[in-house]
Amino acid sequence: MASYQSYLENHQDRFLAELIEFLRIPSISALPERAEDVACAGQWVAQRLTAAGVENVEVLPTDGHPVVYGDWLHAPDRPTIMIYGHFDVQPVDPVELWTNPPFEPTLVGDRVYARGASDDKGNMLAPIVAVEALLKGEGEAPVNLKFCFEGQEEIGSPHIPDFMPQHSERFACDLAVSADGGQFSETEPILLMSLRGVCGLQIDVHGASSDLHSGLHGGRIQNPIHALTQILGSLRRADGRIAVEGFYDDVVELTSDERAAVALVPFDGDRYLKELGLEEAFGEPGYTNRERGWVRPTLEMNGIWGGFQEEGIKTVLPNSAHAKITCRLVADQDPARIIALLAEHIAQHAPPGVSVEVTPLSILGRPYSISADHWGNRAAAAVLKEMYGREPYQTRSGGSIPITGVFREQLGVDTISFGFGIEDENFHAPDEFFRLASFRKSQVAYCKLLAELGASAPPK
Amino acid sequence: MASYQSYLENHQDRFLAELIEFLRIPSISALPERAEDVACAGQWVAQRLTAAGVENVEVLPTDGHPVVYGDWLHAPDRPTIMIYGHFDVQPVDPVELWTNPPFEPTLVGDRVYARGASDDKGNMLAPIVAVEALLKGEGEAPVNLKFCFEGQEEIGSPHIPDFMPQHSERFACDLAVSADGGQFSETEPILLMSLRGVCGLQIDVHGASSDLHSGLHGGRIQNPIHALTQILGSLRRADGRIAVEGFYDDVVELTSDERAAVALVPFDGDRYLKELGLEEAFGEPGYTNRERGWVRPTLEMNGIWGGFQEEGIKTVLPNSAHAKITCRLVADQDPARIIALLAEHIAQHAPPGVSVEVTPLSILGRPYSISADHWGNRAAAAVLKEMYGREPYQTRSGGSIPITGVFREQLGVDTISFGFGIEDENFHAPDEFFRLASFRKSQVAYCKLLAELGASAPPK
């Protein structure tokens, strides 16, 4: 028997080697041809949980990528904490902008570069390692534990809403802790108050039955790219406000206190722009940059394509054009209603001479929020204050973790965020990396958090 | 010695085999990686001219794809006729829509399917074959002959304006005859009165230095696809009229007589739409479908791309978006001035938060027109009337052959169009084909045309 501290120290080299092994698996959930790699990552997680001393480990099928379950339930009268994370990753294109191949993890100083390093493989491996240190080092954990690791977070967890009700007993718990999150900086901790929801759709505009000669037919028929740009142009006003009727209907404006709390979080607008390589910010009038990113809904075009895209010239009048759009939502916007509003707007703004098809994307998440006074957040705040020497900021995220809404609706449990990514780590972009200092720190932090939650859970 | 008629009949199988060999060369001038194939097609043409009995054959370098020259100058006191055509072809994408591979010529009934079959390899091989029949069959031609075959027509002949002044003596002649053209149908001939000019540009919109997470950054910075669609949307009014200031300034409206001549050319609007697989036409208000396609300028988007374009979902905020645009121009629009007007419009409509770059495409052609009373057209009309049993329609083309403007400006000669493509032959589109009946008919027609031109040229 050893303290979790010394256990963690003694096995750190192995943990890093395991992280690198985990990062080699190209588990891109968005690409159908990578489905086996996602499954392989799930198997890796299951084996890693078992090796950590976790029991009843199972890879559970869904209608899409699998969910990995495991538990350790030997702490009578203690709360049951479910640790959440995801083993799928984002696509890697444009792959030519990566300094090193995205699935060949590369150590540079105290960082590991790879797709998924921060989001979320590094972050989700930390609590597994922490639990191993508790179970193998100290012989027990201070709480009952369940694990829920999914393989479809990056595509919006489309099959989790159907999956979870079938397993509600298995996943029953007192609190979910999401390892898919971050801290403000290496020295400043946070509590996460809200996440945006998400929904999306694809627009397909079809014209003639084949591509045509722009000299012979130009000017005589509708051009699908013209039509698409006209539709897309109508979705947003030039000043950045979304022009879809009803879009803002269910948005709950922040109170002045809440706006003040947002304003308390440091933000260097010049540095933000400099880091992105931009000259100026842009967004909805009447809101700060932080508010635009955290508590205002968005409509962003993720991709567009049609016609001739290679080097050179082809004087073609193309027969189709396409775009993918996703919206980030805030309380109390309903993703299904937003999709319906967008579809209606697009139908009303479809120009003559083409057919316009709207297909919802399989990404759907409700906005999520939680109070700073929640017992889980109070425990997290205590640990973070001890480790960082300061109170956490109360921040919000512009991102979406749809499963938090599913946990609340279908398991009746709240989720706190307890992850150690930092915003500069290029999630969803080329050259994603994770700080190894964060990897080590999060292992200790999880041991402390579980102890704190065990001690402070409200009586049932 | 034999008549050209019997010579053509006796060698028809070989001519078809040669056409198929010519069509196998993937001489796509728009693709840099195909430059050697374009050069190879030029060599093929040079050898074919020599085999036909043409003299002084040379492959002349330009700053881009080469020009092939040849002559036969043994008809003293007769006019010198320069036959023009091009051995380059359009790209083939979307290649998956072709029934057969585009560079594996396929005979189906009396048609040959291949990229370039009609535009322009079939059409340009016919006068070579005709001249062979005259020189080898009858021992002489009724006119002096020069040949000018280029390899950059499909990219707008960018290097011809610099090339031609260096070779103006070599190409000096009394009339150019373009084998890059067509007839109205298998039974109805035409005289071509005008061609549209052409110019184009690429728009590149750049945002952040890399792709970003649309949750973390969405709503806070400009989205390059949004910005691009806003710019593109501003170029055209919803009713189809181009919204660029000054765009129509130099357009010479047709006289009522000219509009009447256009209206005389048969047009079945329902059939036109049905053939394209469309429900409705679309174009500038106040003009007929024919006028929109023949004598009105256009602005067409040929291609657009940016962000995530694969199957699935990637919630990315992309860092760039791109579009290619070409305009068709009518008298007296100047391509360089139109590019300048577009660039100014785009600069004025560029949204904040992105940088917008405009690059002219290497395609530039002035509009061209010629009178029906021109001696060349009178000769062509006489041959066509004899062969088709009816007067040709006076038509116009929405396409562009920039070299006609170069011949007029730099050689001081007019160009008549004498080709045998038919509009349904899918130029620039999948499943391009050429009627073998047209191939045979055009060989005889060229023999007759040269005789008619020899007999009817005005005295010098």
Which parts of B247-400 fold into alpha helices (H)?
A: 256-264, 269-276, 289-294, 335-349, 375-388
Q: Cα B421 vs. chain centroid, distance in angstroms?
A: 12
Instruction: Tell me: cis bond preceding B94? Omega within 30 of 0 counts.
Output: yes
- Which of B210, B306, B397 comes nearest A303 by C-beta? B306
In the sheet that A298-307 helps form, which strands lie side by side, from edge to edge? A355-365, A197-206, A320-329, A298-307, B298-307, B320-329, B197-206, B355-365
Which residues, listed in sequence order, are joined to residue A322 by a DSSP beta bridge? Answer: A204, A305
B226–A303 C-beta distance less than 8 A: no
Q: pTM for this structure? A: 0.81
pLDDT exceeds cutoff 80 at B1: no
**pLDDT tens figures, A419-435:** 999 989 998 889 999 99
User: Are B428 and A300 in contact (CB < 8 Å)?
Assistant: no
Cβ atoms of B111 and B13 closer than 8 Å: no
Nearest Cβ partner for A219 among B30, B298, B423: B298
pLDDT tens, residue by residue, A353-376: 999 999 999 888 899 989 888 999
Nearest to B161 by CA among B394, B364, B456: B364
User: Which residue from B174, B163, B140, B142 is spatially nearest to B68, judged by alpha carbons?
Assistant: B163
Residues 6+ apart with CB under 8 A from A47: none
Share of chain A above pLDDT 70, in %: 100
By CA distance, what is A155's nearest residue in B?
Answer: B313
Q: In the predicted model, what is the mean pLDDT of residues B103-129? A: 98
Average pLDDT over residues B410-419: 96
For residue B2, what pLDDT is reported? 87
Percent share of chain B, pLDDT over 90: 89
Query: Does residue B249 have a cis peptide bond before it, meaning omega lies within 30 degrees of 0?
Result: no
Set of chain B residues whose Cβ sits within 8 Å of the Cβ of A305: 304-306, 309
Amino acid (one-letter) located at A222: Q
Residues of chain A with CATH 3.40.630.10: 4-195+368-456
- Cα(A46)–Cα(A56) distance, integer angstroms: 10
Q: With an 8 Å Cβ cutoff, are B300 and A30 in contact?
A: no
What is the distance in angstroms between the Cα of B35 and the nearest Cα belonging to chain A?
A: 12
Is B307 in Cβ contact with A303 (below 8 Å)? Answer: yes
C-alpha distances in angstroms, A330 versus A265, A341, A414, B103, B219?
A: 19, 16, 17, 54, 12
CA distances from B450 to A51, B48, B122, B182, B196 (A): 89, 20, 19, 18, 27
Q: What is the dihedral of CA A178, A184, A188, A191, to 10 degrees?
A: -40
Q: Do B293 and A218 touch (CB under 8 A)?
A: yes
**Interface predicted TM-score of the whole assembly (ipTM), two decimals:** 0.81
Contact A230 B222 (CB under 8 A): no
Asked which of A159-163, A171-175, B8-12 is least confident by mean pLDDT, the reply is A159-163
Confidence of residue A173 (pLDDT cuts 50, 70, 90): very high
Could you say which residues from 23 to 82 on chain A have a Cβ atom under 8 Å away from some Cβ of chain B? 30-32
Residue B163 has what pLDDT? Answer: 96
Q: Per-residue pLDDT for B4 more than 90?
A: yes
Q: B197-251+297-360: which CATH architecture?
A: 2-Layer Sandwich (3.30)
Residues within 8 A of B (CB atoms), A 200-239 only: 200, 207-223, 225-226, 228-230, 232-234, 236, 238
Is A292 in Cβ contact with B353 (below 8 Å)? no
- The answer, for A307 touching chain B at a CB cutoff of 8 Å, is yes
Dihedral angle of Cα A277, A280, A284, A286, to the nearest 10 degrees: 130
Residue B261 confidence (pLDDT):
87
CB contact under 8 A, A221 and B155: no
CATH superfamily of B4-195+368-456: Zn peptidases (3.40.630.10)
Question: Inter-chain contact A307–B310, Cβ cutoff 8 Å?
Answer: no
Residue intervals in chain B for CATH 3.30.70.360: 197-251+297-360
- Chain B residues within 8 A of A31 when measuring between CB atoms: 310-312
Mean pLDDT of B185-211: 95
Write out residues 245-274 of A within 8 Å (CB-CB) of B: 272
Q: What pLDDT score was predicted for residue B55?
A: 98
H runs (alpha helix) in A96-242 = 122-132, 160-163, 214-217, 224-235
Q: Is the pLDDT of residue B59 over 80?
A: yes
The residue in chain A having the minimum alpha-carbon distance to the alpha carbon of residue B399 is A215
Partner-chain residue, chosen from B97, B225, B311, that has the shortest CB–CB distance to A32? B311
A vs B, Cβ pairs < 8 A, gives: 361
